[in-house]
Amino acid sequence: MPIEISIDAGPDAGRHFRINSTSFEARFGRQPGCHAVINDPSWDGVIRIDVSQARIRVTNEMKTPIYFDNEVFAPTEQKVWYEGMVLQPTADTSLRLQVVPSDPDADEDEDLQAFEEIVDRGTPKGERKKQFQYGVILLCVPLIVLLFFLADSPDTDDDKSPERVREEYVRVRNTLRETDSDPKYGNTSKAIRPLLDDARYFEQWNRPAEALDRYLKARAEIQTSLGRPAPILDIDVPDSIRDSLAFVSERIVKLSPRVRYRRS
């Protein structure tokens, strides 16, 4: 499953890089020998990204502290980089990590580069195949319209795309951070964020049992802070806690059948 690193802000905003290997080290910096040569003049040093055994780690080889997930990231320090987390090496430049599905239109025998810059995001690798597919789709428009109007519940979990689930995870995680200073629920917020990160990591790499374990622990942590089911309706419960419980419960429902099936 490819790893995509996007530059969201700074002189290089809009550039996207993809790591197609499950074991690779990429270096981002201003030096010509780096895999990704950055144009930000205030970038002083190298950011090293290691992909190994489906785990992504980032090392700060800059000369000064930077910011990672809104926290100080000291020189020589290494951290695990989860999807949605933002790395800010300079005041202007920020990078975001995303795990993307493999291209279903790519030829199976295609020799993918381990590291590549996506020059034209509007032209997928399987563009020639898609041109034919679009013609077929146009012939099926009446059927598609009919199915659209017959759909009763387009927002069910079964219909949620991986992108939709990822967006919900990022939103929940970001709102939880705002609860860190809450005297009653701050510790809960800090405790469940790493569990959500691990759960999403295991989900993306098709390890449902481990993902389910983390979601169950996150739910237990939330329920412990609430004391009993009733307080979830209390007005003093932050929206971040409510949303987190809803997201976690939804993922548990989704993953439980898969885990039972694999164990049977």
Q: Cα–Cα distance between 59 and 37 in angstroms, integer?
A: 17
pLDDT of residue 214: 92
What pLDDT, in 10s, does the model give residues 51-80? 887 689 999 999 999 999 889 999 999 999
Q: Does the pLDDT at position 230 exceed 50? A: no
Question: Given pLDDT bands bounded at 50, 70 and 90, which one contains residue 148?
Answer: low
pLDDT averaged over the chain? 80
Encode pLDDT of 3-18 as tens digits.
Answer: 899 999 999 999 999 9
pLDDT recorded at residue 45: 95
Instruction: State the DSSP code for 97.
Output: E
What are the C-alpha distances in Å from 173 to residues 16, 153, 234, 239?
A: 23, 26, 22, 12
pLDDT at site 258: 80
pLDDT score of 102: 61
For residue 112, the tally of other CB atoms under 10 A from its CB is 15
pLDDT > 90 fraction of the chain, expressed in percent and rounded: 39
Give the pLDDT band (50/70/90) at residue 158: low
Strand partners, 78: 59
What's the pLDDT at 101? 67
pLDDT at 216: 94
Return the pLDDT at 156.
45
- Checking if the pLDDT of 32 tops 90, the result is no
Q: What pLDDT sits at residue 136?
A: 45
Q: Average pLDDT for residues 99-124, to the nearest whole number?
A: 64
CATH architecture of 3-99: Sandwich (2.60)
Q: Is the pLDDT of residue 46 over 90?
A: yes
Provide the 10 A C-beta neighbour count for residue 157.
Answer: 12
For residue 3, the model assigns a pLDDT of 85
Backbone angles phi, psi at 117, to 5 degrees: -95, 135
pLDDT for 107 beyond 60? no
Cα angle 88-10-161, degrees, rounded to a multiple of 5:
70
Q: pLDDT tier at 126 (50, 70, 90 boundaries)?
A: very low
